[in-house]
Amino acid sequence: MQVKVYSCVKCVGDDFIKYGKTNYGKQRYQCKFCKAISVLQYSYNAYKKDINTKVIQLTKESMGIRSIARILKISTTTLLKRIVAIADNIGQPLIPYYQTYELDEMRFFIRKKSNVMWLVYAINKSTKEIAGFYIGRRNNKTLNAVIKTLINSKAKKIYTDKLRNYQYLILKEIHSTKRHGINRIERKNLSIRTHVKRLNRKTICFSRSAVILNAILKIYFWSDS
């Protein structure tokens, strides 16, 4: 019979001694190497060490909240809190100076079709990496949240569509609306809508919360797992 080997959460050691019990009667163990105290066997799946990795993987596979909760055998409330916590630990990556970017907006809905929201984001024209994104109404505040990031990185050129707001927010010297200038980000729009069902054009999979959608996009765009 194969014996399951547990490892310490801090030093990855595998030698433990018993160290009392929790208030709920669970056996606690102390690592002989770093003296860290932990519970090795949990009855609720949400406490397992690899649960965050699985949440990230299933989220990036475009699975819904209820589907992920059902597969991982945890509650939807716990899953939503865990997604937000994971996203809070994902920082926006540093972007290099003097790069060329494409900027575009994508329409979607929150809760119902009458509540229209927009995802504004930018990609590096060479690497196609996401430089920044913001969720909100289609106004200067939402657009400027991403544009400021590009300007602070001393962007060499920013390509957009012919939305009038851009001419007031981006310096004329670095702004371009030439034909085929945003081909890459338009193709990225299709990929995002395919991978994230909440953003599909014809769907009933609306996000109920902008906070959760923002967290899911953060995981989708910038998580390494």
**Chain segment 72-119, per-residue pLDDT in tens:** 999 999 999 999 999 999 999 999 999 999 999 999 999 888 899 999
Predicted confidence at residue 3, as pLDDT, reads: 38
Q: What is the DSSP letter of 45?
A: G
Say how far residue 70 (Cα) sits from the centre of its chain.
21
**Chain segment 123-180, per-residue pLDDT in tens:** 999 999 999 999 999 999 999 999 999 999 999 999 999 999 999 999 999 999 998 9
**φ/ψ bin of 159: left (φ > 0), alpha (ψ from -120 to 50), beta (otherwise):** beta
Q: Where are the domains of the chain?
A: 1-41, 45-89, 100-222
Predicted confidence at residue 170, as pLDDT, reads: 97
**Chain segment 2-60, per-residue pLDDT in tens:** 335 577 767 767 788 888 888 878 888 888 888 888 777 777 788 777 899 999 999 99
**Cα-Cα-Cα-Cα dihedral of 181, 132, 148, 87, to 10°?**
170
Reported pTM: 0.81
* Top CATH class, 100-222: alpha beta
CA distance 53 to 30: 25
Given a contact cutoff of 8 angstroms between Cβ atoms, the answer to whether 96 and 125 are in contact is no
